[in-house]
Amino acid sequence: MKKLRLLILGLLATLLTGCSLEDERDECCYQIRLHYHETVDGVDLFQQDIKSMRHLLYDSEGRFVRWIDSPASHPQDVDISDLESGAYTVVTVANATDKTLFENYDQLSTFRLIHNARYQDSAKDDDYGNSDELYWHMTGFTINGSPQVIDCPLSNIHCHLHVRAAWKGVPRQVGQWTMRLYDVYTGYQTGEVGLTVRDRDFPAQVSAMCTQRVGTSVFNFELECEFITFRWTNEVLPTLQIWCDDEPVTKGMDLAKAFQEWGWYPDRAQIQEYWIDLTIHDDGSVDMRQGGSLGIRDWIDGGTISN
């Protein structure tokens, strides 16, 4: 009877003190746990916005060690308790597809993310299509024998531009319509922080630029288009132009002029999402004004810009 009582007490102790790697509340199972989230205005949008994550582990010398898998059952919590003592860095890239190239990642100092999606008729030119809706985080930590839960807020490292164009009269061209953005960044120096906006870090941009092109169609004398690009900066803003087949329909519209007039500063925004409405006149001139304000972080009514 005494042995049976001891056995029951032992089983109860195991049940009370045991932990499950499937339960994010169990801290005792983790030596190091990375907790990822995408919190905006107090709301975690991880489940809504994050489709996949890739984690790269680097040692104290910035050398690539290995890829780290995200658990399918709870991808927001990544256990890396199997590491030896020492200093490490983890770089996380979310939502990357074959549109994004992981270049030279064997060293943290040379690791770059490169936009790799050519426009559909790339055989004719070097234009690019839309990029992935990327998120990024980089964190450093030291394993010293004590359990740690490391907060990893994901930074939004893409930009959305929504454009709606309407004619004052009737469009005189007929054909394949496209909108083009000139001077768009093509990559990030992924192991280097280039900007901090409040509690979010953002990777440094590489200097190479490209032209991005998106196809569209006329409906009720209007065109609508959405660009997805890498982030913009206050110093370098793209130029927008509308084409029909191989003919430019408008002059190039310098967005820097409009952004300055409207008080839109990309480097201040954790989320870059902008709406622009265009009115195309018969003489080819264009009026540019702000579109819907939802999602624009530095929105100030600035009126109409003529090009």
Residues 6+ apart with CB under 8 A from 58: 64, 65, 88, 89, 90, 91, 108, 191
Torsion of CA 165, 170, 171, 172, to 10 degrees: -160
The two tokens of residue 214 are 């998106």
The answer to whether residues 86 and 60 touch, using CB atoms and an 8 Å cutoff, is: yes
Of the candidates 245, 246, 240, the one whose C-alpha atom is nearest the C-alpha of residue 280 is 240
Q: Does domain 158-307 have CATH number 2.60.40.2630?
A: yes
The two tokens of residue 230 are 């890498």
The two tokens of residue 40 are 């905006």
Report helix, strand or coil for 220. coil
The two tokens of residue 259 are 């952004």
The answer to whether residues 220 and 293 touch, using CB atoms and an 8 Å cutoff, is: no
Helical H runs in the chain? 2-17, 46-49, 255-262
What is the per-residue pLDDT for 13?
44
Domains 27-95+133-156 and 158-307 are alike in CATH topology? yes
CATH annotation of 27-95+133-156: 2.60.40.2100
Q: Residue ranges of the domains in the chain?
A: 27-95+133-156, 158-307
Q: CA-to-CA distance for 211 and 83, rounded, in angstroms? A: 43
The answer to whether residues 137 and 155 touch, using CB atoms and an 8 Å cutoff, is: yes
Per-residue pLDDT of the chain (307 residues; tens, 9 = 90+): 555 454 444 444 444 444 444 444 444 556 789 999 999 999 999 999 999 999 999 999 999 999 999 888 899 999 998 899 999 999 999 999 999 999 999 999 999 999 999 887 555 568 999 999 999 999 999 988 888 999 999 999 999 999 999 988 788 888 899 999 999 999 999 999 999 999 899 999 999 999 999 999 888 889 999 999 999 999 999 999 999 999 999 999 999 999 999 999 999 999 999 999 999 988 878 999 999 754 343 333 334 555 5
What is the per-residue pLDDT for 201?
97
Q: CA-to-CA distance for 306 and 253, rounded, in angstroms? A: 9
Cα 259 to chain centroid, rounded: 21
Amino acid letter at 148?
A: Q
136 forms bridges with which residues in the sheet? Answer: 93, 155
Per-residue buried b or exposed e for 159-171, using 16+ beta carbons within 10 Å of the residue's own CB = bbbbbebebeeeb
| Predicted TM-score of the model (pTM) | 0.86
The answer to whether residues 192 and 205 touch, using CB atoms and an 8 Å cutoff, is: no
What is the per-residue pLDDT for 172?
81
Task: Count how many Cα atoms sit within 13 Å of the Cα of residue 61 in the half-sphere of its side chain.
Answer: 4
